[in-house]
Homo-oligomer: A and B are copies of this chain.
């Protein structure tokens, strides 16, 4: 019988029933492994599975001799891009782009408001027993937010920021988006034109060869000193040393980083003490939000229907492009 392994960290009875019902209807048997507790059990049986849904260690894939399709429950899949990790070159890789939009876009709205309203300063002063009033603070209404990355996360963020009164510029490879919440969408080649006009730059990009260091020292210097930087994609997108220097030197107003290099960030890393900097430990889109898990399972079930019918996967990753 054709076999599916599920290896995620958010299983519950409802998801298990949904997954088993669909698998059985489509002619598969399905085994659930708890991530990371059952990593050993999965490793023993990995050779049995045609389909894996979840995020097994990349090093395990070589043993997955029957594998035809890995559906990652994450949106970022950089660990699975090298051709050496796969048992055969024709294995399909798909991601869960579409599950993270609500969770991560709410994080973006939250940290942007915290930066504009100077919460890092208020919280630090209150912790010292003070009772301060800082002026000025700023509003999302009327702010110009540049979203680098116009995929699922960027589009969800654009809708929410637009509803709150921001002007939203999207920047992406193709310079086009079907999402109407963007006031304008520019190709990456015009990023330099957008940066000097930004009140905030939000990076929502996958980790690919093209996005590595995309916010370079030179581009950081094009942002006005009143601008904030928010990163919810991957730490590799930013020249982090240049960011630290800009924050320390007051050449940027602040930053909110959910991703950084390395993770976890060492206790003595200079980012930890940069002024007006909000750090979160890579949790903006993790599986702590029930809605994200619901969407993730739904996405896999829709892909499984397509796979069983021999149709193309909607979230197929181009392993050379990286997303």
Residues of A within 8 A of B (CB): 102-103, 106-107, 109-110, 113-114, 116-117, 119, 122-123, 126, 129, 131-142, 160, 163-165, 263-265, 267, 272, 279-281, 283, 286-291
How far, in whole Å, are A136 and B288 apart by their CA atoms in the complex?
A: 4
* Inter-chain contacts of A103 with B (CB < 8 A): 137, 139
CB of A131 within 8 A of CB of B164, answer no
CB of A288 within 8 A of CB of B134, answer yes
Which of B132, B142, B289 is in CB contact (< 8 Å) with A137? B289
A162: nearest chain-B partner, CB-CB: B163
Given A134-B283, A134-B288, 9 more pairs with CB closer than 8 A: A102-B141, A106-B140, A106-B141, A106-B164, A113-B113, A122-B281, A122-B283, A131-B263, A138-B289
**A224 CB to nearest B CB, Å:** 17
**A88 CB to nearest B CB, Å:** 34
CB of A133 within 8 A of CB of B291, answer no
How far, in whole Å, are A160 and B139 apart by their CA atoms in the complex?
A: 13
CB of A117 within 8 A of CB of B109, answer no
CB of B289 within 8 A of CB of A133, answer no
**A323 CB to nearest B CB, Å:** 24
A135: nearest chain-B partner, CB-CB: B288
CB of A139 within 8 A of CB of B102, answer yes
**A266 CB to nearest B CB, Å:** 9
* Inter-chain contacts of A281 with B (CB < 8 A): 122, 126, 131-133
Known A-B contacts A122-B280, A122-B281, A281-B122; the reply to A139 vs B291 at CB < 8 A is yes
* Inter-chain contacts of A288 with B (CB < 8 A): 133-137
CB of B267 within 8 A of CB of A109, answer no
CB of A279 within 8 A of CB of B126, answer yes
A291: nearest chain-B partner, CB-CB: B139
How far, in whole Å, are A137 and B129 apart by their CA atoms in the complex?
A: 29
Can you offer 18 A-B residue contacts whose CB atoms are under 8 A?
A102-B165, A106-B113, A106-B141, A107-B113, A110-B113, A110-B117, A122-B283, A123-B123, A131-B265, A131-B281, A133-B281, A133-B286, A134-B283, A136-B289, A136-B290, A137-B289, A138-B289, A138-B290
**A74 CB to nearest B CB, Å:** 14
* Inter-chain contacts of A263 with B (CB < 8 A): 131
A110: nearest chain-B partner, CB-CB: B113
**A140 CB to nearest B CB, Å:** 6
* Inter-chain contacts of A164 with B (CB < 8 A): 106, 109, 160, 163
* Inter-chain contacts of A102 with B (CB < 8 A): 139, 141, 165
A132: nearest chain-B partner, CB-CB: B281
How far, in whole Å, are A139 and B150 apart by their CA atoms in the complex?
A: 22
How far, in whole Å, are A287 and B135 apart by their CA atoms in the complex?
A: 8
Known A-B contacts A122-B280, A122-B283; the reply to A139 vs B289 at CB < 8 A is yes
**A91 CB to nearest B CB, Å:** 30
* Inter-chain contacts of A131 with B (CB < 8 A): 263-265, 281
* Inter-chain contacts of A163 with B (CB < 8 A): 160, 163-164
How far, in whole Å, are A154 and B140 apart by their CA atoms in the complex?
A: 18
